[in-house]
Amino acid sequence: METLKLIEEILEKKKDKIIDVSNKIWEFAELPYNEYKSYGLLTKALEDEGFVIKRNVADIPTSFTASFGNSGPMFGFLGEYDALDKLSQVAGCSRKNPVEEGKPGHGCGHNALGAGSLGAALVMKEYLTANKLNGTVIFFGCPAEEGAGSKQFMARAGAFDNVDFVYTWHPSTINQVQSVRSVAIMGANFEFKGLASHAGGAPHLGRSALDATELMSVGVNYLREHMIDQARIHYAYVDAGGVSPNVVQDRTLIKYEVRSPKVSQLKELFERVVNVAKGAALMTDTKVEYEITMAFSDYIPNAALAEVADEAFREVGAPKWDEKDYKLAQEFMLSYNSSTIESIKEYIKEEYGEEHLSEIWDKPLDSEVHPYENSIKYTSGSTDVGDICYAVPTINFNVATACIGNVGHTWQMTGQSRSSISSKGILTAVKIMALSAVKTMNNPEAIRKAKDIVLKQNGGAYQCPLPDSVKPPIGKY
């Protein structure tokens, strides 16, 4: 408890700066690879505290590392700061009310994520200094998690070489060391090229790229029956070939993303999607080319780190909510439609017990720390944090910053991401990550076990799921 008390004393002096950074990043609301204001704010805050900045990591303009110290255990915190398109929302407002219609918003809370990890780095710098300890703390500035990612490119470029362990967190509805795994993902652009012609006067002379694209969609739909349950295939038309139906479309562009629990499964399923595209081109006498634009490895919680982190989380405890927080959380919870609200009720019964439904309904903020469960369960989402766990021992914390049952990537999440609820979650996350870092530094055996787990996972060295030829798709994704 003495360590936690010192961390809290340091945090008390830094908390206003941390929350201010979160609020400003929320206001910037910058899309993936365009987080220049957020990048500038974070790098200046770290430089002012004596950190050494390395910019343009992995040739990504808004990526960086900030380090303090040059000896002892080397550890870090992952920071994200990108927003999502068209999720603008007034802060703390529980009815849909964009700040500016159609503009981006922090619907995944990455403003809080980046500020919380910044806070952990600042606190650990002061902790090392106050105790005259050897150690190197690194803040990893990781843009574009909602885009094509950055962490896999950073890992491939060696940014995590010689790092002993990494902690990160994510704004959530629950307080827990993340125990579920995330699935791997690969995305690509498929371009079909045909031959334009008058669709009425000379259709036989045309070769429709749009027909090919639609046949690809049909083929992939049939493929869905013949893949594992945890796999997913998503698509979006980028260019349907124009708006004139009397012209045979000679070019189309469609984006596909494929998910599966393991990278090996992912690559196999992706190749099947590629074969469907080739078949569609063959059927329509068109040509198809594809370009892989992104890929993330699956995230696996490091069991050795999780044991240390779980202990730290329980020592810190959940955020301390007040009646104002509960009232705001309930307003946001009730802003969802009736079917979502019914789903939230079922979730509460399952997670907290039916006997607690009324209690949680009145105060819908998670007020307990749920124990870490070392089990093989997958969420269908993906994150580039997965690549870090294959490069260095890594653990993610989930800390409540939104109402129970909140749906991510919504205006409701944007509204809560700059509120008293989010601020309390951020400061709790800072304490958890800092205390976990101290406990891990003081436990060489845990570090050894954690590294052995990584070596077993990656076969001896990190392998990026992207071909070496694939560069960060700046301006393309």
Q: pLDDT by residue (tens digit) across 83-125?
A: 999 999 999 999 999 999 999 999 999 999 999 999 999 999 9
Binned at pLDDT 50, 70 and 90, residue 452 comes out as: very high
Q: For residues 344 and 359, give the distance between their C-alpha atoms in angstroms, rounded to a whole number.
A: 14
Same-domain pairing of 34 and 156: yes
Is residue 5 within 8 Å of 15, Cβ to Cβ?
no
What angle do the packed helices 110-130 and 36-48 form, to 10 degrees? 10
Residue 171 exposed, middle or buried by CB count within 10 Å (0-12, 13-18, 19+): buried
pTM score > 0.85 for this model? yes
Flag whether 472 is in a domain.
no
Same-domain pairing of 57 and 130: yes
Give the structural domain span for 448: 2-181+298-458
Same-domain pairing of 169 and 32: yes
Structural domain ending residue among the three candidates 295, 316, 345: 295
Residue 263's domain is classified under what CATH number?
A: 3.30.70.360
Q: Is the pLDDT assigned to residue 476 strictly greater than 80?
A: no
The closest of 9, 2, 96 to 411, measured between CA atoms, is 96
Flag whether 255 is in a domain.
yes
Q: For residues 444 and 458, give the distance between their C-alpha atoms in angstroms, rounded to a whole number.
A: 21
Q: pLDDT by residue (tens digit) across 48-86?
A: 999 999 999 999 999 999 999 988 999 999 999 999 999
Flag whether 468 is in a domain.
no
Structural domain ending residue among the three candidates 253, 270, 295: 295
Q: How many domains does the chain have?
A: 2
Q: For residues 148 and 473, give the distance between their C-alpha atoms in angstroms, rounded to a whole number.
A: 7
Same-domain pairing of 177 and 205: no
Same-domain pairing of 126 and 6: yes
Same-domain pairing of 190 and 309: no
CA distances from 14 to 69, 401, 470 (A): 19, 19, 40
Lookup: tokens for 121: 């780095």
Same-domain pairing of 71 and 176: yes
Q: Tell me how many helices (H) and strands (E) the chain has.
A: 14, 13
Same-domain pairing of 287 and 316: no
Q: For residues 42 and 51, give the distance between their C-alpha atoms in angstroms, rounded to a whole number.
A: 11
- Bridging pattern class, strands 378-379 and 181-182: parallel
Same-domain pairing of 451 and 344: yes
Same-domain pairing of 340 and 386: yes
